[in-house]
Amino acid sequence: MSDLLRATPGELADLVRPVLPRPDDLSEAQAVRAFASGAWTGVVEPGDAVGGVVRSMLGPTVGLRVVLEAAVGHDEPRPGLLAGALVEAGATLDDVERLDLVRALKRWRPRLETGVILRSFHTATAVGARLLVPGSPLWPSVLDELGDHAPVALWARGPAPVPAPASSIAIVGSRAATAYGEQVSAELADGVADRGLAIVSGAAYGIDGAAHRAALAASATTMAVMAGGVDHLYPAGHDGLLRRIVETGLMISEAPCGGKPSRWRFLQRNRLIAALTAATVVVEAGGRSGSLNTAAHAQSLGRPVGAVPGPVTSPSSVGCHALIRSGLAECVTSADEVLALTGVSTDLVVASYQGRRLDPETMRVLDALSTTATRETDELAVASGLSLETVRDVLAELDLSGAARRYGSGWRRVRGRRDG
């Protein structure tokens, strides 16, 4: 029998509390449930639907206990034990038979080693990772839309919270990106970040890295969705980039610390990138690029997809052209067109400020301001189409309210204050 079954609830709660964002807010039973959710991340592969059914019907704590009893300490797994628990919880025999519990238990059995599970928690504590579980205040509830394929929990590393999906854009593309692709990725990320949105990508070489670097240069929030544990900065060539993301943004993974990236996990993490953002933009993609997998997940979730056109002679743009030609993605060439995918108006027509509807003049000045570049009053007048006197009056009001700040002789918009 597994050593986990011999641990007291208090011991399990003490083990998990160091990695919980708000440990003092949870009862012992809630802490044990969080521990079970964290343990499950090392037992099942991302997107394991059978594991999702077991947890949804039995709960993560009881589900883990029953799975341990059915799989560990015997020559062969005992699927009848798990089947009986599911039937008692309301499943029909037909439902249970379709789950193929024998295969599931054999699949999970090698990972039910107590030492490995405990080590993942100790490593998470050592690197300062946090465990986010469904139902907690910091859990991105949009992931629940994935149903039985939703992650059981997320491991997070970095000071930023998971950005709101409505204010996040995924920028993905080929690892073997061209100079053109990396330039477009950086320009789109910079333009989107300048409008206060977060950039989400997969930290891979090429398009992903260009998007993350541009977001960091713009002092914007960027989140890297990893295929392995957040303790492992992968790929090695992005060690410096990932350390910067950990310092100011966020890394997340549904794999526990110690989990290694694999082709399957790269494909599965793409569904998280799609689910956690308002739209997915594919900058460059070959005919078999994993970025097309991200686009497919976005489409299945009803999220808009954009694709950047490239030279017709470039193999790196074949996938993008196929998406556009088939009508599965809209052609995008600028940050404004990316925002248009999500329904965000670049004219801020429906924006509100300090609890009231913005007047047109304020909207125009806000839209002319940048969060990263200092702009002179006369530049703002040209960009907004307003007189210098009107721009000065609006800037004075925005300065008082904290929405804009003077830097030398110029002005910048305060990030996060554009939409009130």
Are 206 and 270 within one domain? Answer: yes
CATH label of the domain that carries residue 214 = 3.40.50.450
C-alpha atoms less than 13 angstroms from C-alpha of 300 in its C-beta half-sphere: 16
The pLDDT assigned to 356 comes to: 43
pLDDT of residue 262: 85
Residue 325 and residue 366 share a domain: no
Q: What is the pTM of this model?
A: 0.81
Residue 187 lies in a domain: yes
- pLDDT at res. 31: 93
Q: Please tell me whether residue 153 adopts helix, strand or coil conformation.
A: coil
> Do 250 and 224 form a contact (C-beta atoms < 8 A)?
yes
Phi, psi of 236 (to 5 degrees): -60, -35
Tens of pLDDT, residue by residue over 111-127, are 998 888 999 999 999 99
Same domain, 193 and 97: no
Instruction: For the chain, list residues with pLDDT below 50.
Output: 1, 345-357, 416-420
Q: Report yes or no on 152 lying in a domain.
A: no
Structural domains of the chain, count = 3
The pairs formed by 164-167 with CB atoms below 8 angstroms and a separation of 24 or more are: 165/140, 165/275, 165/276, 165/277, 165/278, 166/278, 166/342, 167/196, 167/197, 167/198, 167/278
Question: Domain range holding 283?
Answer: 158-342
**Residue that terminates a domain, selected from 342, 365, 386:** 342
Q: Are residues 364 and 337 in the same domain?
A: no
Write out the two tokens for 327.
């009508």
DSSP output for 37-55: HHHHHHHS-TT-HHHHHHH
193 and 337 belong to one structural domain: yes
